[in-house]
Structure 1
Amino acid sequence: MNLVNRIINFAKAKTFAFKCISIGVALALVASMCLVKLASIQLIDGRQMAQAATASRTSTITLSAKRGRILDSNGTVLAQSVERYTIVANPEAAQEFTPIDCNKNNQDYCHQIDGKPVGATGAAAVGRLLAKALDMSAMELGADLSVSGQYVVLKKDVTPQVKRSIDNLNLGGIVWGELSSERIYSDGDLMGSLLGGVNDEGTGVAGIELSENKVLTGTDGHQTYQRGNYGGEEIPGTMTESVAAKDGSDVNLTIDRDVQWYVKKILKDAKSKYGASWVIGVVQDVQTGEILALADSDEVEAGTNEAKLGSSRAVSETFEPGSVGKLISEAGYLQTGLHKMTDQFTVPNSVTEDGQTFKDSFDHGNMRWTLAGILQQSSNIGMVIAGKGYTDEQRYEYMTKFGIGQYTGLDLPGESSGVLTSPSSWDLRTRNTVLFGQGYTVNILQLNNVAATLANKGVREQQSIIKSTTDSSGKTTEVKKKQGTRVVDEQVASDMMNAMESVSEGYSKFVKVDGYRMAAKSGTAQVAGPTGALTSIVSDYSVVIPADNPRFAVTVAMKDPQGVYGGLTAGPVSAQICEFLMQKYEVPVSSPRKDAIPVTW
């Protein structure tokens, strides 16, 4: 029995030992696997996990470039981008927020509203704290903060003062401000649609903001760094890349704000005084072609939707020039050698040419006028009689030489080149009406440059409205423009100015500037009314001042004024502008006129 018992006990012991060894081996195997996994995590996967954690915290933030300014010729700012902030928040962090009641020991990080506890937690509490600073309802803010995610925009274009007040609410990591900008226009409707506006992305969409968008737009920079858990703040020392933004260049205009302001005021007053539908005016430096003022009576504020969706009437409105167009024809008569300004004509009460009958705006007997007198009396009949021998090709040639039917080169959005058809499309009436400013259309800039060309001794200068640009480093670059083009000889231009001065003297009771001689031409043309029929009137007046030493060309155009005729409506308005120019620029008074070409014989 003892032997049997010993055998049984030995077997049990052996079995137990085997189990112990098996368990030990299993434990050793598990331990080995744990060690291998630990080593893998630390030595192999650790870098990847660290990189993933870093990536989750790393953000690349755009540094917005500031859009360049638009300034007048004297450096007065007309449009600029100012510092603004977009207030954003982390909704998930807001929903976990618990305000800290204030006591004397925690004033730097506690939360209260007007000295009282917030009275809520989570998104509702954050909404209550922000409501006053953002001028929004706490309920609306609470709703905005109750969504999923870690980023939501609460309000755009807030001032730096508002952003600082939010910084003082001790909501770091929950609410913060991101730098942006807002386009500000200092003068309301002074240049309205001419300046235009920008869209929500800060891109020019109308006016000079559009035409000069490439120059005004800068290049954004960026910064790459790690944020804290709630995303609002940079972790110190984690900046890995920083590229500074390059601001856009400033655009310096030829426009003189003071002149623009005065012209705008006068045009708005004239619209009211004469009951006109609209009034347009332009002031140009004769010698340089620079536009000092380009205005209309429309009351459109720069930057508004109306300014962004439309274009300046001063560049888009076209009309028949009426008798101001006679300047082109008479200059052509002289330049081609067809006539001299002293040539004598007998002008009857009507004339029939090519089967078409033409009359003047007033009845008269046989009048003995020189070519200068035909211009002074604004005789359509005289222009047709004098135009015999002046071919259709010549009529078209000189209109194009003076810039009719062509864009001005100002590159202003919405500009119309007007309508000038080729001679081959003219009927028997149109070929003669073009001699006295009917049968084609112009914009006011084209029309003004006709007078300016004659005042500039026959050289047509390229008109300009952009003077220079100044980049973010302060370097100024003058804008190059095309060289002037001679249209007529200097003597022809001088004779035309002489005859225009006689025209001006004929209106001296209504259109004058004491001490200064003026050379001018008035016009009145029928244009299409609301029904498409020729029921409306455009009256215009172009003037050069001083006539003896030309400095400025001014043109005013009005639609449907009470008083009708250009010399009686647009003329006095032009004179008001001229008087201001003489005073502002302290132009010396004129010498007496002694060389007038005879207007009768």
Structure 2
Amino acid sequence: MKATIARIVHLYKVKTFAFKCIAVGVALGIVATMCLAQLASTQLIGGRQTAQAATASRTSRVTLSAKRGRILDTNGTVLAQSVERYTIVANPEAAQEFVPTDCNEKTKDYCDEIDGKPVGATGAAAVGRLLAKALDMNAMELGADLSISGQYVVLKKDVTPQVKRTIDDLNLGGIVWGELSSERLYPDGELMGSLLGGVNDEGVGVAGFEQMENKTLTGTDGHQIYQRGNYGGEEIPGTMTEAVAAKDGKDVTLTIDRDVQWYAKKIMKEATAQYSAQWGIAVVQNVQNGEILALADSDEIAAGSDEAKMNVSRAVSQTFEPGSIGKVISMSGYLQTGLRKPTDQYTVPGQLTVDGQTYKDAFEHGDEHWTLAGILQKSSNIGMVMAGDGYTDEQRYEYLTKFGIGQSTGLDLPGESSGVLTSPSAWDARTRNTVLFGQGYTVNALQLSNIVATIANKGVKQQQSIIKSDDGNTENKSKATRVVDEQVAAQMMDAMESVSDSYSAFVKVDGYRMAAKSGTAEVQGADGKLSSIISDYSVAIPADNPRFVVTVVLKDPTGFGGLTAGPVSAQICAFLMQKYEVPISTPRKDAIPVTW
């Protein structure tokens, strides 16, 4: 009985153990099946996605920066250009794993040392030490920059190709590399300061010609798509999948002649010092086509600087009352309307009262016998008011606007001010007469130059231009309008030549006749009162065959227009005659009488 029971217990234990073994085997089979299923899924189903993810992690899209177009003078001299530069970047994680290779006979072609000595460190500190001399930076600061997390950090911008090549020779491939960029350079510094303006950190023009011509100057970036090796910037050969070349920006050519600009700038700086003026402006214009050859001021602002980006050129933005140069407009209107002739005779008193308003000249005198041409020569305010009797307010306004007063020059220069000319309905009893002698409205230096240039161009007002060509296209200079008849213009040139003759003792260019007008106007000073003056002088040369108009404006010089701005303009005129080899003038004959 006992044996039977023992046999039953034994069989039970055997069956139980077998059951457990079967259960464990089934469980292991299920696990194995799941593993095989997962492996099959990974290899057969997710393999492509995994490979694609791995490829994507190595694929880089690198921008190829387009070079900004150049700004050139009329002769092709570079005034602004972009040059090849590099941004030096690094992979911090790779730098932290860097171990320098000691130099010996076997490793001499790729080892690491500093001035023939071991690097003396590993990781980011070692990379920083190797780069410090080439980048002219502190090794500890570089080491700190390379000790951060991540795989990309900018170490230095605007590095020259020579420095980039030096870094390439440091055997740091995959850790440190250069990305192509560019830097905007202005070879002449202060020569055209705020006129050229500057670009921001993104290379976009934000002031001056850089802003004005930004669309033309800006190119289109290209790109390359390829796979990088581990740790950085090295391309895996044969992995380039797309390459689009950068398209550089177009050049812009100005009408400015750099040599004339340089000389005018030099003279303006000297003149402000000589005459203790606050500032000075000079404009040189080609009479025949309206091109601006120089637009200079005495300000010392370097092109591309923060100051150049924040300030508009004074030669463009500064407005002022023209003073007696405005008499050229009035006398032209008198002659063109047939109201007066240049030989009309006047007895001009030392003081004149009209409609309760009293007018005086800049100098005291008794009764003088002057012709209308003589009134212009003597720059008599009283004479201009007398000759203006019968010249309606509408006519006064009409000829001011025809000569460009209160109108845009059409140059579209950033920050340009058109000045102020109110309508005749706003004029009071005094203003209607002060506009006859250049007060009661404001102009800029470019407008002032075009007044005299219109007379010198036989009465035809040219559209001024300062952009000669952009995007390969020559600027349209066809906008020309006749303001006065050719005969009137010739009479005005004759009268203005008499003005110039009266200053010939100190405003002259030997061998050349000049037709000019001076001006002096009281303007508001820092105290809010009429405590400052503007002295200006505009001259056409040669008077017998006009080629150029030179206008000079000085703020608060120690002397009136003809005595200060006049001699300065003559210096510029002399330079022009020599540079362009202008033939000397023929003798003057049959001048219109200035007295009777």
Shorter-chain TM-score bucket reads: over 0.9
Among 558, 577, 581, the residue aligned to 2:576: 581
CA distance in 2 between partners of 1:18 and 1:365 (Å): 142
Among 541, 553, 563, the residue aligned to 1:568: 563
CA distance in 2 between partners of 1:121 and 1:427 (Å): 85
Residue identity in the other structure for 2:217: L
**Which residue in 2 is equivalent to 1:520?**
516
Q: 1:5, CA displacement in angstroms?
A: 6.7
**Which residue in 2 is equivalent to 1:402?**
403
**Which residue in 1 is equivalent to 2:232?**
231
Residue identity in the other structure for 1:79: A
| Unmatched runs of 5 consecutive residues or more in structure 2 | none
Residue identity in the other structure for 2:244: V
CA distance in 1 between partners of 2:34 and 2:139 (Å): 56
Residue identity in the other structure for 1:52: A
Residue deviations 1:91-150, cap 9 Å, x none?
111112111111111123221111111111111111111111111111111111111211
CA distance in 2 between partners of 1:253 and 1:52 (Å): 53
Percent of pairs with identical residues: 78
Higher mean alpha-carbon deviation, 27-36 vs 323-332, is at: 27-36
Residue identity in the other structure for 1:400: T
The reply on whether 1:119 has 2:115 as its aligned counterpart is: no
Residue deviations 1:246-296, cap 9 Å, x none?
111100000000111111111111111111111110000001100000001
SS of equivalent residue, structure 1 residue 62 = strand
Q: 1:20, CA displacement in angstroms?
A: 4.0
* Conserved? CA contact 2:289–2:477, under 8 Å: no
SS of equivalent residue, structure 1 residue 315 = helix
Residue identity in the other structure for 2:567: P
CA distance in 1 between partners of 2:216 and 2:477 (Å): 17
**Which residue in 1 is equivalent to 2:45?**
44
Among 523, 533, 538, the residue aligned to 2:534: 538
The reply on whether 1:480 has 2:481 as its aligned counterpart is: no
* 1:267-346 correspondence runs (5 A): 267-346=268-347
**Which residue in 2 is equivalent to 1:411?**
412
* Conserved? CA contact 2:87–2:180, under 8 Å: yes
CA distance in 2 between partners of 1:538 and 1:499 (Å): 23
**Which residue in 1 is equivalent to 2:468?**
467
**Which residue in 2 is equivalent to 1:91?**
92
**Which residue in 2 is equivalent to 1:473?**
none
Residue deviations 1:319-344, cap 9 Å, x none?
11110000000001111111111111
Residue identity in the other structure for 1:506: S
**Which residue in 2 is equivalent to 1:158?**
159
Q: 1:426, CA displacement in angstroms?
A: 1.2
SS of equivalent residue, structure 1 residue 568 = helix
Q: 1:502, CA displacement in angstroms?
A: 0.8
Residue identity in the other structure for 1:312: S
CA distance in 2 between partners of 1:425 and 1:147 (Å): 69
CA distance in 1 between partners of 2:99 and 2:69 (Å): 44
* 1:30-429 correspondence runs (5 A): 30-429=31-430
CA distance in 1 between partners of 2:190 and 2:24 (Å): 92
Higher mean alpha-carbon deviation, 495-504 vs 13-22, is at: 13-22
Among 526, 529, 542, the residue aligned to 2:525: 529
Higher mean alpha-carbon deviation, 415-424 vs 319-328, is at: 415-424
SS of equivalent residue, structure 1 residue 60 = strand
CA distance in 1 between partners of 2:81 and 2:4 (Å): 111
Q: 1:29, CA displacement in angstroms?
A: 2.3
CA distance in 2 between partners of 1:177 and 1:278 (Å): 46
Higher mean alpha-carbon deviation, 240-249 vs 71-80, is at: 240-249
Q: 1:477, CA displacement in angstroms?
A: 1.3
Residue identity in the other structure for 1:561: P
Residue identity in the other structure for 2:578: Q
**Which residue in 1 is equivalent to 2:505?**
509
Q: 1:24, CA displacement in angstroms?
A: 3.3
**Which residue in 1 is equivalent to 2:585?**
590
Higher mean alpha-carbon deviation, 299-308 vs 378-387, is at: 299-308
> What is the count of residue pairs matched by the alignment?
595
The reply on whether 1:434 has 2:430 as its aligned counterpart is: no
CA distance in 2 between partners of 1:4 and 1:384 (Å): 150
CA distance in 2 between partners of 1:482 and 1:424 (Å): 34
CA distance in 1 between partners of 2:139 and 2:426 (Å): 70
CA distance in 2 between partners of 1:304 and 1:384 (Å): 48
CA distance in 2 between partners of 1:240 and 1:479 (Å): 42
CA distance in 2 between partners of 1:184 and 1:406 (Å): 35
SS of equivalent residue, structure 1 residue 439 = coil
**Which residue in 2 is equivalent to 1:556?**
552
Residue deviations 1:180-199, cap 9 Å, x none?
11110001111111111111
CA distance in 2 between partners of 1:348 and 1:190 (Å): 48
CA distance in 2 between partners of 1:289 and 1:245 (Å): 37
CA distance in 2 between partners of 1:42 and 1:481 (Å): 72
* Conserved? CA contact 2:373–2:594, under 8 Å: yes
Residue deviations 1:140-175, cap 9 Å, x none?
111111112111111111111111111111111111
Normalized against structure 2, the TM-score is what? 0.97
Runs of at least 4 residues of structure 1 off by over 6 A? 1-6
CA distance in 1 between partners of 2:350 and 2:9 (Å): 154
Q: 1:4, CA displacement in angstroms?
A: 6.6
Q: 1:9, CA displacement in angstroms?
A: 5.6
Q: 1:7, CA displacement in angstroms?
A: 5.8
**Which residue in 1 is equivalent to 2:24?**
23
CA distance in 2 between partners of 1:447 and 1:258 (Å): 23
| Unmatched runs of 5 consecutive residues or more in structure 1 | 471-475
CA distance in 1 between partners of 2:406 and 2:478 (Å): 18
Q: 1:28, CA displacement in angstroms?
A: 2.6
Residue identity in the other structure for 2:539: V
SS of equivalent residue, structure 2 residue 180 = strand
* Conserved? CA contact 2:500–2:507, under 8 Å: yes
Q: 1:349, CA displacement in angstroms?
A: 0.9
* Conserved? CA contact 2:176–2:232, under 8 Å: no
Q: 1:231, CA displacement in angstroms?
A: 2.1
* Conserved? CA contact 2:524–2:532, under 8 Å: yes
Residue deviations 1:355-389, cap 9 Å, x none?
10101111222111111111011110000000011
SS of equivalent residue, structure 1 residue 186 = coil
Residue deviations 1:207-234, cap 9 Å, x none?
1111111111111111122222212211
* Conserved? CA contact 2:336–2:488, under 8 Å: yes
CA distance in 2 between partners of 1:19 and 1:210 (Å): 86
CA distance in 2 between partners of 1:95 and 1:4 (Å): 76
* 1:483-502 correspondence runs (5 A): 483-502=479-498
Q: 1:26, CA displacement in angstroms?
A: 2.8
* Conserved? CA contact 2:60–2:227, under 8 Å: yes
Q: 1:62, CA displacement in angstroms?
A: 1.3
